Amino acid sequence: MTALTLNSWSQYYSLTKPKVVYLIVFTAMVGMLLAAEGLPPLDIFVFGLLGIGLAAASGAAINHVVDEHIDRIMDRTRDRPLASGDLDQKSALIFALSIGVLGIAILIAFVNLLTAVLTFFSLVGYALIYTMYLKRATPQNIVLGGAAGAAPPLLGWTAVTGSVGTEALLLFLIIFVWTPPHFWALAIRRREEYAKADIPMLPVTHGVEFTKIQILLYTILLFIVTMMPFIIQMSGLIYLSGAVALGIGFLYYAVRLYREEQPNIIAMKTFGYSIYYLTLLFAFLLVDHYARLFLRGWIL
C-alpha cells in the first residue's frame, strides 16, 4: 500500500467522499434517535454510527476504484485521488474492503445481526449493483440505485429496535423519493461530461426538457410523501411547519428550473438547495420528536 504519510491519509480520507458520508451518518443518527423513547443506549449509538459510517465510506471508496477511468474524463471528478494518480487502485481497494469488513464486523459484534445484514446489502447495492451495473445500463440508474442511498435512517432505526417498522420505512421512502430530483439537477449541469464518459444519465438519453419535468414531478411527490409523518402521527406541528416551508422552497427551485431555458445555473442552485433541504427536514424530525417527548414529561 501507499506509504501512510500525512498526505496519503488525506487522500484516503477524500476517497470516502466525506461530505456524503456525513449526511449518511446524520440521517442514520436521526433514525436512531427517533426510534428511541428518550436516548438510545450509548454503546448502540456509538457502534451503530461507526459501523454504518465505515460501510458507507467503503462504498464510496469502491465507487472511486470502479469509476477511475470515468473520473479522469469528467471535470467534476478528475481531481479525485485515483483519477489524479495520488493513490493506486490496489491500495484504494484494500482500504475500501478493510473498512467495509470492519464496519460490518462492528455491527455484528456490538449492534445486531439485522442491522449488519441490511448494511451489507446497502453496501453491495451501491458499490456493486449501482456503480458497476445500473449506472452504465439505464437512465433510471439513480432511481433504481437510490434504495442503497435511502437506507441509513432505516439502518439507524433497526440498530436501536432490532426490527423494521412503518416509521423506518417512511424515512427510507423520503430519501428514496428525494434522490432523483437531487441528482438529476446535478446531471443537467454536468450532462456534457456524462455524455463524454458514456454514462446514460437522464439528461443525456432523454434530453434536458424531459429531465426538468421529471424533477418537478418527483419534487411534487416528495412534498406529498413528507406530509406522511404528520398524517400517521409520527411527528407533530413542528415537523409539519418545517416540512411545508422546506417543500415550498424545493418546489420553487423545481418550477424555476422547469421554466428556465438556460438551466445550468439554476440546476446547481437546485442541487445545492436539495442538500440543505434534506438536512433540515431530518433536523425538524428530530426537534419535533424531542419536543413531543418533553411535553409528555420526558426530561432531557
Claim: this prediction has a pTM higher than 0.85: yes
Mean pLDDT of 32-41: 94
**Predicted pLDDT of residue 74:** 82
Higher pLDDT, 276 or 130: 276
Burial class (CB in 10 A: 0-12, 13-18, 19+), 8: middle
Dihedral sign of CA atoms 253, 254, 258, 261 in order: positive
The answer to whether the CB of 99 falls within 8 A of the CB of 58 is yes
Q: What rounded mean pLDDT belongs to the chain? A: 92
Q: What is the pLDDT of residues 79-117, one digit of tens each?
A: 888 888 788 889 889 999 999 999 999 999 999 999 999
User: Hey, where are the domains in the chain?
Assistant: 1-164, 174-300
DSSP string, 102-115: HHHHHHHHHT-HHH
Would you call 45 helix, strand, or coil by DSSP? helix
Instruction: Check if CATH label 1.10.1240.10 holds for domain 1-164.
Output: no
| pLDDT value of position 189 | 94
2, pLDDT greater than 70: no
Cβ(240)–Cβ(227) below 8 Å: yes
Q: What is the pLDDT of residues 179-224, one digit of tens each?
A: 999 999 999 999 999 998 899 999 999 999 999 999 999 999 999 9
Residues contacting residue 188 through CB under 8 Å, at least 6 positions apart: 203, 208, 211, 212, 257, 263, 264, 267
- Cβ proximity of 246 and 233 under 8 Å: no
- What is residue 61's three-state secondary structure? helix
Residue 300 pLDDT more than 50? no
